[in-house]
Amino acid sequence: MSESRDFADILKASEPFVRRQIEKTDELVTADLIDSVLRKVEMIDPDLFENVDREAVIDEMIRRSSHGIGKNASLVATEGHEPWLNADRKQGWRYWRRYSEYMEEKLPWKALDALDKSTDEILGNLEDPLRPGNWDRRGLVVGHVQSGKTGNYTGLICKAADAGYKIIIVLAGLHNNLRAQTQIRLDEGFLGYATLVNVDQLPPVGVGVLDRDKSQQPNCATNRSDKGDFDTAMSRKLNVKPEQRPWLFVVKKQKNVLERLVYWLENHAADTVDPETGRKLVSALPALVIDDESDHGSVDTGEVPIGDDGTPDLEHSPTVLNGLIRRVLHTFARKAYVGYTATPFANIFIHERSTTSEHGPDLFPAAFITSLGAPTNYIGPGRVFGSASSVPENLPLARRLDDDEHMEWMPPTHKNGWRPRIGGERILPRTLQEAIRSFVFACAVRKVRGQGDKHSSMLIHVSRFTSVQGEIVGQVEEFVRHMVRRYDRNMDLAELDALMQRDFETRFLPDMARVRDAFPDVPQGEDVTWEDVRAVLPSVLQDIDVREINGSAKDALDYAENEKKGLKVIAIGGDKLARGLTLEGLCTSYFMRTTKMYDTLMQMGRWFGYRDRYLDVCRLYTSGDMIQWFGHIADAAEELREEFDNMAAVNATPRDFGLRVLSHHTLTVTSKAKMKSAKPVHLTYSGSLMQTVAFPIDDKHERNFEIGSRFITAMGASRPLQDQQYLPEGQNWNGALWRNLPALPIVEFLRAYQTHPKSYRVVPPMLADFIERMSAAGELTDWTVALVGSAKGAAKGRVKRIGDTEVGMLERTAIGAHTDRYSIKTLISPRDQAIDLTRFQYEAALAHTRETWRGDADRNDGKTPPSEPGGPAIRHVLGFGHEASGLETDKTRGLLLLYLLDPEKSDCERLSGRDPVLAWALSFPGSASKVTIKDADYMANSVLWEAMFDGVE
């Protein structure tokens, strides 16, 4: 038996023991635990261990058993759907079995289990391909950027083919490189052979290495070459019969390609005619259409397809790609459509009743929406940039690029043909030189750690113009070539070598430690020294290749071609790097390209994903504005998921789900064209948390403090904050509490207080108007006010009196180098919204928090169900009750939280020696009231709009 076979057998034999040990004792997976299990296996079969590296087995077992995965959540419509998927139906499934075995080497056990479960759920929400008659199921799967959506839909394709779907069409982006990359992944995960051209025999890859029975291999109408899309020649000769194996089509969302596909379906695959319309139909071949990046290119950006009376315009002409995708679906009598995206902002604006006689229904996910949980080792926007509830200390992965030198080299706005220069010289800015050194260090550290044969990539994305990109390629090549020559020839090396050592030891190495401290749950590599790195620098530098990514298929194929040695590439590009294309082993990103759309900006985040054992060498160089924008998007995405979780908890359907997306003063949710059916609505603050995060530092600062002093004095006698209606055991509070206040003093305080002009979302006069309107309607009439102090601040003697009450001041460090304001990331602590709840309300909110808990690492959920209620759950159960607990609503209750921020701990020089910053937050219970604010903070889809206003503008 070969060593690799022994290795696999040991893993297979040990897995049940490790799983049982973890489930029984909930032990942390360690080398000692794995070693104890291996000793038991060795006693049973000692021959297995004769030719195997025991340490390698332990490392692999730890990798496979270490990571968990967040829970999925789904909104499902069951009308017209016949449940069909069960264990008996899955017996003998070949494509899924071999894909599962293939993925065992790539995914931890829990992640593979979750993949099996989620693909079962998605497939079960589609229709049984063996069901006769006409049917149509359309759904949406929302994942995370660079989180493994391709792996998920590959698993879905395998199961769909096993179940009996005969035509599988994957819409794989707009560019050749992404289509080719997707084809390669499906070659490995589904087909089992490399779809090469001009070869006598297609070599087995991926699942085909595990299962070499060619009689069951799926067919494919496309290939991985540059011209491998569905072409005219293939469309003329291809003939598919019902009894044949499944056929795969991996096609671009491009007009000519989709037109050829529609023509082939209508003229070669169609086997019947619709008696009412005369349309040619494919009735014998059930179809599954997977729309990768379904928010991009697929959405109808034409005029609103619904008339003023709410009925669909049957003669509406959708945009070209949307219309062709719908025609592909409309050609099949039995079809399923599943969109995959990490940025569903455009998809939720599709009008749910839009349809035409020629194209059929629009792509609204009427059957289901599934939100995938992220594995614990996934690094996404919530973990990199923080969310409103969790802010990383000093953003350990990010470096701000706001220096004048960079701006001179590459202004934020520049034209085609721009020549990047500094002082007239053709040189790189110091920050980019540092970033390239960081990439060199990353490659070297990975080589020292035994990852030298793994891909490592650097992204430089600063301009959309190819002419500018070409100039940058030249400058970067020259910079790298200079280092290569010095180390290769050992000539004039002293100055460069000293710089490299100093930079590694004083900057890069300490930052590695900071990253490891910030992400303790992500597997980390061992420590390295400068001597270790110096020993491999010459060879690492020689391996680095500088490339301009121009959209050809070769760009996507290079990783596969260099699988054995590992590609070391600095990729310089623009739009071709902006969406979908995976940069394997991405370590360093230098990113200055600006966009003002949520979905595009998030998709540009190629640095999100999995970085096991090399996260500490990863770095992101970008602007302070971009960091703030990404942080805001993380909040917007989290709010969207909170709404989703609340609806999933009450078994809502996609049609019930009135989605809303937080708007931003500078960013746009998605392109205006994609929001044709969305309306700028006058939305309620109900169910929201509003907190001040931008404060004036001129004379308004003192006036706000005085306004707060008068407000607190006017409220009269307070009680200690510890004296709440229900105080959970072990909780200690510093501060004061007032109960049963009418709305009027709250409104007056808000009208007097002035936020900074850059505080676009928290506008006190608008909040005051809203509270007045709600109280007139019988809601928000009974207020609780809490002055929340810091016990740590009090213990340090950092206390301050406001009005007649003294509290400890909070420490909140400024973000951004602003000279006109003091800005912070977040104000309140998660538990603050639970202040003065009754025990019944507290326990109901905790129950709802646990119901909507997903264990999602990117949402900073934690590994175990929460022990305290979350703010969204508190606001939800107060507004809508909690059926399982028998809790009634409490819509009269409003909560105002006041805080004093320590000026000496703010990192804002202009606050030193002055009064504390008076900050506040408002927590509103959820409500179905139609009382609204004056100006729109949100864009609402058609479902929410009609639910709020009964379809009347």
Residue-wise pLDDT for 891-945, tens only, equals: 899 999 999 999 999 888 889 999 999 999 999 998 877 776 654 455 555 655 4
Collapsing DSSP states into helix, strand and coil, what is residue 788? strand
Helices (H), 576-623: 598-603
The mean per-residue pLDDT over the stretch 517-544 comes to: 90
Which run of H or E residues covers position 251? strand 247-251
Distance from C-alpha of 530 to C-alpha of 441, rounded to nearest angstrom:
10
pLDDT in tens, 48-91: 777 777 777 777 777 677 666 778 889 999 999 999 999 999 99
| pLDDT: which is higher, 478 or 651 | 478
Which stretch of 118-127, 757-766, 906-915 has the lowest confidence by average pLDDT? 757-766
Average model confidence (pLDDT) across the chain: 84
**pLDDT tens digits, 448-467:** 998 888 999 998 988 888 88
Residues in the chain: 953
Q: Could you tell me the pLDDT band of residue 670, with boundaries at 50, 70 and 90?
A: low
Indicate the range of 382-391, 443-452, 524-533, 631-640 predicted with least confidence.
382-391
Average pLDDT (484-500) is: 92
819-874: per-residue pLDDT in tens? 888 988 789 988 999 999 999 999 999 999 998 888 777 676 777 888 999 998 99
- What gap in Å lies between CA 280 and CA 855, rounded to an integer? 48
- At residue 278, φ and ψ (nearest 5 deg) are 80, 5
CA distance 153 to 122: 10
- Reduced to 3 states (helix: H, G, I; strand: E, B; else coil), residue 733 is coil
- pLDDT reading at 442 higher than 90: yes
Take residue 63 and report the two structure tokens written for it.
């990798």
The H-or-E segment that residue 644 falls in is helix 624-649
**In this predicted structure, what is the pLDDT of residue 425?**
93
**The pLDDT of residue 576 is above 70:** no
User: Beta-carbon neighbour count of residue 430 at 10 Å?
Assistant: 13
Q: Flag whether pLDDT at 948 surpasses 50.
A: no
At 658 the pLDDT is 55
Distance CA 836, CA 739 (A): 9
Q: Which of 32-41, 81-90, 269-278, 873-882 has the lowest mean pLDDT?
A: 32-41
* Cα 300 to Cα 320: distance, rounded to the nearest angstrom: 8
Instruction: Say what the pLDDT of residue 139 is.
Output: 94
Scored b (16 or more CB within 10 A) or e, 900-912 reads bbbbebbebebbe
3-state secondary structure of 628: helix
Residue 950: the pLDDT is: 42
What share of the chain has pLDDT > 70, as a percent? 84
Dist CA 715 CA 796 (whole Å): 28
